[in-house]
């Protein structure tokens, strides 16, 4: 059976670049080339995995400049059965694509909110009076390039793919810009040294988060990330997303998760996985 991989499209997105890296890895290890399936949004990408319409999905989760991709965290929390198989880190280098001859002509810039945010300083400095309009993806933004007053932030790869001129590159505020992606599926996956989980706490009382954190600290389990998201039930009510540097197979992790259950309202364990650091010849 052909493995199908959902990702944010249209073709040319950074999510597609990450998917191609994983597809290459699968082709090398299994001898079979997977089928790439672009979806119009991150939520629809994850929904396709949850529905069983595709075998795998690749979604962005965190960026070194802008932090969490909150759409991904919110959707993963809602879609109960999703499991993480693999983490993937990709360098991200943004370009300004436009038919304008010079920056002064541009009045509107389109892009995915994450890309706009990662270039915020550059935009303020070089295009202080333009209107920034969010799109579902960096390549969706290319549809709005109508005349020389419009520009889009996307990858050099997208510029090549759609034969669009690059007016400025790189334009991300920090050169060492990386995004972490998760490869997700409905299948639990056995391996790796990172475990991601999320929980809500029973009540918004003092110390509600202290106990869950102590459970890991007491067992010497390192937390590599903690992020809060609103539960959306009431103001000040949060979910906590945690990454730990250990596998759920370790005795101490199993014990910690058992104990954590008794101190949380809902606990979701998304799985243990390894992280692939991809260093391409030219940046994505």
Ligand X SMILES: O=C(O)C(=O)C[C@]1(C(=O)O)C=C[C@@H](O)C=C1
Q: Residues interacting with ligand X, by CB under 6 A? A: 8, 13-15, 60, 63, 69, 92, 112, 114-115, 137-138, 179
3-state DSSP call for residue 275? strand
CB atoms within 10 A of CB 265: 12
CB of 120 closer than 8 Å to CB of 173 = yes
Compare residues 69 and 215 and give the one whose CB is closer to ligand X: 69
CB of 30 closer than 8 Å to CB of 102 = no
Q: How far is the CB of 70 from ligand X (least distance, A)?
A: 10
Residue 200 corresponds to which tokens in the numbers above? 């809500």
Compare residues 34 and 212 and give the one whose CB is closer to ligand X: 34
Compare residues 20 and 215 and give the one whose CB is closer to ligand X: 20
CB of 176 closer than 8 Å to CB of 239 = no
Q: How far is the CB of 73 from ligand X (least distance, A)?
A: 12
Burial of 174 (0-12, 13-18, 19+ CB in 10 A): exposed
Compare residues 137 and 185 and give the one whose CB is closer to ligand X: 137
Q: How far apart are CA 211 and CA 204, in angstroms?
A: 13
Q: How far is the CB of 122 from ligand X (least distance, A)?
A: 14
Q: How far is the CB of 111 from ligand X (least distance, A)?
A: 7
């Amino acid at each position: 059976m052909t493995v199908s991989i959902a990702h944010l499209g249209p073709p040319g997105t950074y999510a597609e670049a990450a998917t191609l890296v994983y597809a290459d890895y699968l082709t090398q290890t299994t001898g079979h080339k997977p089928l790439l399936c672009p979806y119009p949004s991150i939520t629809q990408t994850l929904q396709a995995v949850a529905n069983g319409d595709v075998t795998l999905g690749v979604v962005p989760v965190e960026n070194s400049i802008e932090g969490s991709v909150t759409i991904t965290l919110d959707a993963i929390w809602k879609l109960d059965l999703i499991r993480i198989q693999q983490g993937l880190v990709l360098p991200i280098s943004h370009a300004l694509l436009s038919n304008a001859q010079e920056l002064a002509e541009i009045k509107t810039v389109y892009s995915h909110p994450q890309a706009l945010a990662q270039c915020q300083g550059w935009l303020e400095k070089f295009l202080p009076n333009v209107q920034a309009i969010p799109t579902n993806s960096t390549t969706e933004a290319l549809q709005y390039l109508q005349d020389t007053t419009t520009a889009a932030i996307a990858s050099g790869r997208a510029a090549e793919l759609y034969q669009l001129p690059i007016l400025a590159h790189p334009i991300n505020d920090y050169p060492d810009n990386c995004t972490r992606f998760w490869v997700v599926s409905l299948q639990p996956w056995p391996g790796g040294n990172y475990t991601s989980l999320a929980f809500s706490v029973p009540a918004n009382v003092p110390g509600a988060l202290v106990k869950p954190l102590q459970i890991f600290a007491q067992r010497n389990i390192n937390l590599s990330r903690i992020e809060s998201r609103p539960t959306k039930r009431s103001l000040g009510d949060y979910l906590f997303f945690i990454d730990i540097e250990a596998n759920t197979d370790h005795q101490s992790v199993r014990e910690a998760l058992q104990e954590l259950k008794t101190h949380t309202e809902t606990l979701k364990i998304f799985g243990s996985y390894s992280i692939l650091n991809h260093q391409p010849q030219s940046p994505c």
